[in-house]
Structure 1
Amino acid sequence: MPITAVASEEKADDKAPQVSYIGLTPALVGNYGSGPKLKYYKADVSLRVTGADAAARVEHHEPLIRNQLVMLFSQQTDETLGSVEAKEALRQEALKQVQQVLEQEEGKPLVDDLLFNNLIIQ
């Protein structure tokens, strides 16, 4: 006999802000570094926002955000992508730049965090 598990949901406070994740699709793909050999990156990025209004505003500015991130990634080198610590520094810089763009456009940073769902360098 199969066992069925039933989970009960507690009602969340309706006034609590809703956290959502906005995935930048398609993934950011391009080349980076300088030298005779082309090097590529592919980054699946999600932005964490709080509230439906913030999510709508961030989605509205997605082309500008994507442009800023592509420019940032294209400036990278093997050293700035070569270790876990370097990737974390890149993530922090990407978050800072996204927040700066939104600050200029909306007057507020709107994005709480930036996450790499996948980061491939070759």
Structure 2
Amino acid sequence: MKVLLTLLLALSLPLSALAQEKKEEAEGENAAPKIIYVGIVPALVGNYSSGTKMKFYKADISLKVTGSEAEEKVKYHEPLIRNQLVQLFSQQTDESLGSMDSKEKLRQEALKQVKQVLEQEEGKPYVEDLLFNNLILQ
């Protein structure tokens, strides 16, 4: 009888481990999508015109995406995204960068352009938000 109980216990252990593994997989599938912040590295540095003087900017930017697929797509297209953002920043003036409202408009325009790039290249915008970690104007 002891042998039979030991044999049943030995056979049931792998089944219980398999059931636990299936349960963990199901919980992983039901979990909320993972939010990832993809930094545009190195920071964008360039100049913009302010009348007769050239001024400089440095922008540390992060893109908010959901899931590893979106992260991979953003990283793959980073050179194109970077180019679009550099062009946008170089078109700015003191007036378009002078206040918090104007910086917010710039952030929204940058997000719009990043989404357009990804939509053209991948058919899906992938990026949910664009954040200025640091924006220095000189």
Q: TM-score range by the shorter chain?
A: 0.7 to 0.9
SS in 1 for 2:28: coil
Q: CA deviation at 1:35?
A: 3.0
Q: State the SS of the aligned residue for 2:118.
A: helix
Number of the residue aligned with 1:8? none
Partner of 2:65 in structure 1? 49
1:14 counterpart = 2:37: no
Q: After the TM superposition, which residues 1-122 of structure 1 pair with which residues of structure 2 at under 5 Å, given as runs?
A: 14-15=28-29, 16-122=32-138
TM-score (norm 1): 0.87
1:34 Cα deviation from its structure 2 partner: 4.5
Instruction: Structure 2: state its 5+ residue gaps.
Output: 1-26
RMSD: 1.3
More helix by percentage: 2
One-letter identity of the residue aligned with 1:59: K
Moved more, 28-37 or 15-24: 28-37
The share of aligned pairs that are identical, in percent, is: 71
Give the TM-score normalised by the residue count of structure 2: 0.78
Query: Structure 1 runs of 4+ off > 4 angstroms?
Result: none
Q: Which has the higher contact order (CA 8 A, sep 6+)?
A: 1
| Count of paired positions | 111
